[in-house]
Structures are given as structure tokens and as C-alpha cells.
Structure 1
Amino acid sequence: MSGGKHTHVYKTVNDCRIQADVSHSSHNAATLVYFHGGALISGSRTMLPDEQIDLYMQAGFNVVSVDYRLAPETKLPIIAEDIRDAIRWVRTEAADLYRFDPDRIAFAGGSAGGYLALLAGTGIDGYRPKAVVSFYGYGDILGDWYTQPSEFYCRMPLISQNRAYGCVGGAERSEGSRDRRDFYWYCRQNGVWVQEVTGYDPVKDRLQLLPYNPIDQISSDYPPTLLLHGTDDTDVPYEQSLMMHEQLHKAGVDSKLITMDGAGHDFDKNETDPSVKQAFASVVRFLQEHV
């Protein structure tokens, strides 16, 4: 198979079909596996803009954008299993179907997807990619920024518990609309994202959560990593990428941090901005160098 975008079901759990979109560039080429954002609560594989897919494909990469089951119906340990199975599917069935090189794979993602890319870089299922790219992601889910009420979100209209829980619940799902964001706002206003998404208490269950905290799982064989973050990000603090960069550097890992001065969350969606274009050129060079 070649050309265009093809959708596949890579995993089915009960009635939940978990899908991946494959944009095929060429045989025996490197592949970029992309994880979408949405705080692990909302979003889908379709959030990766076509302009970005085209950019990566023109650089010679196949692109696979994957779904995973969403919280709070599915908790983080099970979401991590979906990520593991997605990676396994890319390296086996998809590699056979599209003649990917199963050893030339990079992980990338934005926000919560950046977190998943960083987590997968620690070696889910024993496999480490050739490189990781995180757009305004985070390596520490146990910090105060996520376990305490957010000053930024508390300035917004308060979301009641009834309204928040009215947005979620029921059957497991792998795609979530923007309507679910009220639940995320509630989590940030009350500092309960970790409990709601993981099923664990960040204090009492810290040991159980450490395997899902990338900054605590860095070793010298962690893949080369590129982090991009805006200094005015009001959702994920810029310090999250700075801390991750410093820890990677201490471990002797090839790590680069691109600081987007004055940029906020989702800055990469503004592809016409000259600084964003320059950032993407750096991403492509980084991937071509390492994958």
C-alpha cells in the first residue's frame, strides 16, 4: 500500500475500536509515531494537522498518528498498555503492510501526547525509539503544577462536580470531543488530575506512579530528545521541558531544548509564524540526524 492516509484498527477491547492513521511516504523509510494531546481526557489521532503530516512526509518519513483509550473511563496504566500495543503494531503489522523499517522509528507528541512520547522513550515493552520529540509536553506528573489547584484555571468560571462528571463516564472510548474539557478544567481547578486520570493518589501511591513519571526513569540509554516549549504556556509550565532537558543532560543523553519566547500552548498550530517555521525546520533536521 502507498500514498494517502489509511485508517486501521490496531486494537479492539470489548466494543472499543482503537485506531491509527498511517500516512505512507515510501518503503524502507523511517517512521514518526505521533501521540495526540488533550490531557489524556479528550482528543484523537486526527488532531495532527495535515500541514505537519505533509512536512514530515516531504522529509522522507512515514507518519502514524495513534488513538488510545481516554481517561477517566480508562486509567493511565491501561492507557500505557494501549501505547505499548500501538508501538508493537507499528513495528510488526504496519511495518509488514507498508514495508516500514521497524528499527527506524521516532516518537512525537504535543502536550499530553508529548508526555506519552517521553514516557514511551523510557522503554515501554523493552523498545526504545531512535529519537523523541516533545512539543510542550511534561516529564513530571507528580509536581505541584498538576497536583495542586492551577492559578490560571481557577481564574476561569468554576466547574461544578456535577457538570464535570456529566461530561464523562460510561463506556471506554478512544476519541473524545471538546465537550470533555469541562472535566479537565474541573481537575485543574481542584488539583485532582492525577487521581482522576491514574486512579492513584500522588502522595499515598507515589511508588506506584513513579514508573509513569518520565523524569524519574531517565538513564544514559534514553533516546536523543528534542523539547519545544513556549515561555508563556499557561497550561503546561515551560519549566516542565526545562527540567526534563536538565535531567537528560545530567544523564549524558543528547537533549536539545527549543525555547519559544512569548509563545503559549499549541504554538505549533500557527504554521505561518516565522519562528514556528524555524522550529519545525529544526525538528526535521533533528529527526533526519537521529532516525
Structure 2
Amino acid sequence: MATAGRESTPDPITLVYKTISTSDPGSPEGSKPDIALHLDFYPPTSPADGDAGVPAIVYFHGGGLVVGDRKSWFPGWLLKRLSEQGVAFLSADYRLLSPSTGHDIVEDIQDLFAYIRNDLNPVLAGATGDPRLRINLNAIGVAGSSAGGLCTYLCAMHLSPKPRALLSVYGQAGECLNDQFLEPKTKPYIPNVPLVDPSGFAEFLFPQSMALPIIAESPVEYYPTTHPTPGLPATKRMQLSRLYYQLGQWLDYYTGDHTLSQRLRQLRSSGTEPLLAPDPAKAGEVIGEKNIKLFPQFGVTENWPPTLLVHGTADSRVPFSESKHLAEQLTAVGVENELIVVDGREHAFDILVPAAEAEREFGRMFDRAVAFLVQRLRQ
């Protein structure tokens, strides 16, 4: 990801949308600290004039679902443009893998949108003193980068009502049965990034990982220029997604089924790959009826919201083929979608360079992405 990790942004209104008790059943109340899941609200530069309220985009951060928070790898270009168009920007935390799973993240997403629909407007009125500052609950879309793109797909699958529009920037898991997810790696697969030594990560590997504390925020830190490996991740969690991919086990930690990847590899090696067909019933026989609900490629229906996918063709962390596969599935069922192909670009291309340089290179594409969202929010 980007070496900066965070961009300078306006101060948001920070709210708690959910609290999770981590105390064991039967233990004294308060024996373990509760976990607060936060939501940052960035009001648009021009609040709504009427009672309907302003449209809103809910954004999910990247980090392989294992690291980061609502301010990490922040897309300043997206916030700026939406704000200028009169659209509120909300950025939310969610529980991170190990010990949590994708099922917990789906629950967080559902609780987040329940909070937005039931509680956010009264809370905003009290926090700002401005009764005009309210969300139009009929004009909410979602956006995300990398693993945040996967979160937007989970929104499309599990929310009712559906988001009005979806933006995924180099989104993860548009197709989860490829070599990137399933095959153990013995050589570096990301340019200039070495493999991770698993011996230093015992606490993050199953079954020890089940004893890790539940978290929804993990700081993003990189080694300074004085370090032998400047610019590389400086915490274990920042290397964790790479390790899970390296071991061919990311899906195990995502689903909570720690035999899944091995079963899928065995199926691939048998020469029969029925799971590649978008048939949830067949896939569920191997993946499991519960876990199949975490796989976007088996959750695409005609009710999926209008979708814009943006992806670089040289992405070594999340292959371009994942967004291409999802776009093809959406087209097959008649869902409005576009795929913006960013030729020759790596993962996180929009935040790997200073903002001014990104604007020069990608400004028109940024405009196009925001226009896609705004048009559908205002329909």
C-alpha cells in the first residue's frame, strides 16, 4: 500500500455506531474492555436546503481486512469531490480478521447501516446544532478500496435496501478461487517485497490466532528511511495479509474454516473445477452453505446496485482479473456496470504518489468515478 498511509483531511465528526462486549460469558461485567466501532462523518461543503437531506457515500478502508482503520490509505480525492458536489462522506471501522472473520464483518456492515438509517440524523442534529444537516436515507451509496472494495460487495449482497451505487477501486475478491488466494508461494509475488517468515507470526496462525484480542483499528506504520528496509510495513499486522496469501490460507481466516483452502486446492488438482461456474448451490457443497455467503462471485444477482470498478492491469496484490470477472458476472445478469481499466498501474496507484501528481495523472478518471456515483445518488 502507500508509504504515507494517511492523507491530511478535514476534521470529521466521529461517532460510535456499535459497541462489542469482549467479556467471556459468566465473567464479571467489565472484566475485559468493550470494543467501540467508529464512524467518521464528513459533511459536504453545502448542506441540504430541504427536509430530504444530503446524499451520502459510506467508505470502507483497505488493508486485506487485517489492518488499518477508517483513516488509513484515505482517498482524499474522493472526499474532496463528493463534498464539492454536496455529498456527505462517511468512513467506518469494522472488525479485522484474526480472530474475527468475514461473518463478523458482515454483521458490522449490517449494524452500521442500521445505525445510519435509525440513529444518525438525530445524532448529527444534536452534534452540530444544524437541523438541516441530515442524510437522505434514500440516497446512500458505498465505496471502498482494496479490501474495502470487498466490503462494498458484501453491502451489495447483504443489505436491504441496497445501496444506490457502488464504487470499488482495485477491489479484492471479485473472484476468490484463483492462484492468488489458493496457491502457497515459495517466491516473492509482489515486486520488491520479500516473502514473510512465518516463524515470527505464530500468534497470528491458527489455532493460536483464536486467542488474539478482537480489534477494529490497527495502526498503519512504515519503516523510516534510516531503516534497512525503508518504506516497508513496520508492524506484524501490516504483513499479515501477505502472509495469509503466501501460505494460500487467506480464505481460511476470512471464513473461519481452516480446512477450506486445502479442500479447494484438492478440487483444483483433481482436474474438475465446478466451482468456477457461478452456481452457489454447487459451490456450497464444498465451501459450505454459510461461507458461500461471503463470496461475491456467488452472490451476484439482478438486484446488485449500479457498479463502477476501477483497477490497474499491473496489480500484483489484487489481480486485475478479479474486477474483470465481477464485471462480466454483473453484465451477464443485466446489472449496470462499468470497468475502468488503468493500464500498467499497480495496487493503490491513486495514493502511492503525492496528491498533486495523482491529480495530474488521474484527475479525469477521479471526476468520472464521482460523476458515476453522484448521478445515481440523485436519480
Could you state the TM-score of these two structures normalised by the residue count of structure 2? Answer: 0.71
The separation in 1 between residues aligned to 2:177 and 2:86, in whole angstroms, is 37
Q: CA deviation at 1:210?
A: 1.6
Say which of 118, 132, 137 aligns to 1:102: 137
- The alpha carbon displacement at 1:92 in A equals 2.0
Change (3 A) 1:182 1:266: same
Is the alpha carbon distance of 1:227 and 1:113 closer, same or farther for their aligned partners in structure 2, counting shifts above 3 Å?
Answer: same
Where in structure 2 are the equivalents of 1:1-40 lying within 5 Å? 4-14=11-21, 15-25=34-44, 26-27=47-48, 28-40=53-65
The one-letter amino acid of 1:164's match is F
Contact 1:154-1:189 within 8 A present in 2 as well = no
1:211 paired residue number: 293
Cα distance, 1:36–1:187 mapped onto 2, change above 3 Å: same
Q: Give the superposition deviation at 1:206.
A: 4.2
- Structure 1 segments (4+ residues) deviating >4 Å: 153-156, 166-169
Question: Distance between the aligned counterparts of 2:191 and 2:253, measured in 1?
Answer: 18
Q: Deviations over 1:55-110 (max 9, x none)?
A: 21112110100000101121110111011111211222113334111110000000
Q: Secondary structure of 2:54's match?
A: coil
Separation (CA, whole Å) in 2 of partners of 1:10 and 1:83: 10
1:147 to 175, 182, 185: 182
Q: What do the CA deviations read for 1:35-56 (whole angstroms, capped 9, x no partner)? A: 0110110010012244432221
Mapped contact 2:96–2:217 kept (Cα < 8 A): yes
Which deviates more from structure 2 when the two are superposed, residues 173-182 or residues 234-243?
173-182
For each residue in 1:193-240, what CA deviation from the matched residue of structure 2 results, as whole angstroms up to 9, or x when unmatched?
111232121434344322111121111121100000001100000011
Are the aligned partners of 1:267 and 1:276 in contact in 2 as well (CA < 8 Å)? Answer: no
Query: Does structure 2 conserve the Cα–Cα contact (< 8 Å) formed by 1:153 and 1:189?
Result: no
1:214-229 alignment runs, 5 A limit: 214-229=296-311
Match of 2:197 in 1: 160
Of the three residues 320, 325, 328, the one matched with 1:246 is 328
Q: Distance in 2 between matches of 1:74 and 1:252?
A: 34
- Residue from 176, 182, 188 that aligns with 2:245: 188
SS of corresponding position for 1:103: strand
Counterpart of 2:164 in structure 1 is 130
Task: Specify which of 351, 359, 362 is matched with residue 276 of structure 1.
Answer: 362
Query: 1:119 maps to which residue?
Result: 154
Q: 1:44 aligned to 47, 63, 69, which one?
A: 69
Can you list the C-alpha shifts for 1:11-30, whole angstroms capped at 9, x where unaligned?
A: 11021111010001223110
Alpha-carbon distance in structure 1 between the residues aligned to 2:371 and 2:248: 38
| CA distance, structure 1, for counterparts of residue 103 and residue 303 of structure 2 | 23
Cα pair distance change 1:268/1:154, threshold 3 Å = closer
Q: Please give the TM-score of this superposition, normalised by the length of structure 1.
A: 0.92
Between Structure 1 and Structure 2, the one with more helix by share is 1
Partner letter of residue 260 of structure 1? V
CA distance in 1 between counterparts of 2:323 and 2:361 reads 18
Asked if residue 66 in structure 1 is aligned to residue 73 in structure 2, the reply is no
Q: Which residue of 2 aligns with 1:175?
A: 217
Please tell me whether the aligned partners of residues 95 and 102 of structure 1 are also in contact (alpha carbons under 8 angstroms).
no
Provide the C-alpha distance between the structure 2 equivalents of 1:159 and 1:73, rounded to a whole number of angstroms: 20
Contact between 1:132 and 1:225, CA under 8 Å: does it hold in 2? yes
Structure 2, gaps ≥5 residues long: 1-9, 22-33, 125-133, 221-234, 265-285
CA RMSD of aligned residues (A): 2.1
Do the aligned partners of 2:98 and 2:212 also contact (CA within 8 Å) in 1?
no
Q: Tell me, what secondary structure is at the counterpart of 1:56?
A: helix
Structure 1 CA distance for aligned equivalents of residues 190 and 247 of structure 2: 9
- Cα distance in structure 2, aligned partners of 1:23 and 1:196: 32
Contact map agreement 2:110 2:158 (CA 8 A) in 1: no
Tell me which moved more, 175-184 or 257-266: 175-184
Match of 2:80 in 1: 54
